[in-house]
Amino acid sequence: LSVLKIQVYILLIVIGLLCFGPAFFLLQVGGTWYLVGFATNADWFVSRKADMKMGTVTLTPQSNGDLEMDYSSLKPDGSCWTMNHLAKKTDIPGKFTFSSQRWANENDMRMVEVKYDEYSLVHTIKTKAGSSYILNKLYSRTQDPSQAVLDKFTKFSLEQGILPENIAILPKNGQCERDRGVHSCFCSFDH
């Protein structure tokens, strides 16, 4: 290849990254994650924050580009809290939408930053009856992400206007029977 062709290829790659951001690979986000961080400006969060603990979310990529999300968390009485959503793909890689029947809201969810073997920052705008709020989550492949990852989540949440006292790093929790042997978790309260 000529030097000019190589320069054109490099320019196209740079333009692609500037216009579309880093590539999002749906299949690599699949699997089970721990939810170690939870941050929101929603009023309900203040009264529930102290009771929140890690649980699991299993993300299952669908052949059409959608993303199935299966949540579970061990409750204090030993029973298991579960919830499932099918997030529909959009034209933007890493962006999904879904409706929650349980919470009667519409959700615009973005995988803002993903290091597939380590963590994912998830930003969701939830809308109900014309009112919206932000919910940020930090998914981790382990229960103990690095301090740098925790700091990144905190910084991102603060940049979104979430108050410092509304950013929680969730304490470890036991796993539901169905999740034992699986190495990931999710939080029990999702609105």
Residues 60-104 have pLDDT tens digits of 999 999 999 999 999 999 999 999 999 999 999 999 999 998 889
Rounded CA-CA distance 137/156 in Å is 10
pLDDT at 177: 79
Give the mean pLDDT of 35-52: 92
Rounded CA-CA distance 115/178 in Å is 26
The CATH number given to whatever domain includes residue 58 is 2.40.128.20
- The verdict on residue 115 lying in a domain is yes
- The verdict on residue 135 lying in a domain is yes
What is the CA angle 137-86-152, rounded to 5?
Answer: 15
The domain tally of the chain equals 1
Contacting residues for 39 by C-beta, under 8 A, at least 6 apart: 134, 135, 136, 137, 153, 154, 157, 160, 162, 166, 167, 168
- Residue 152 structure tokens: 């990144």
For the chain, the average pLDDT equals 86
Kindly provide the b/e burial profile for residues 22-31, where b requires at least 16 CB atoms within 10 angstroms of the residue's own CB.
eebebeebbb
- The verdict on residue 188 lying in a domain is no
Cβ–Cβ < 8 Å for 188, 56: no
- The verdict on residue 10 lying in a domain is no
Cβ–Cβ < 8 Å for 107, 132: no
Give the mean pLDDT of 126-151: 96
- How is residue 172 annotated by DSSP? P
Q: Which domain holds residue 66?
A: 24-179
pLDDT at 187: 31
- The verdict on residue 4 lying in a domain is no
Which residue would you say has higher pLDDT here, 141 or 186?
Answer: 141
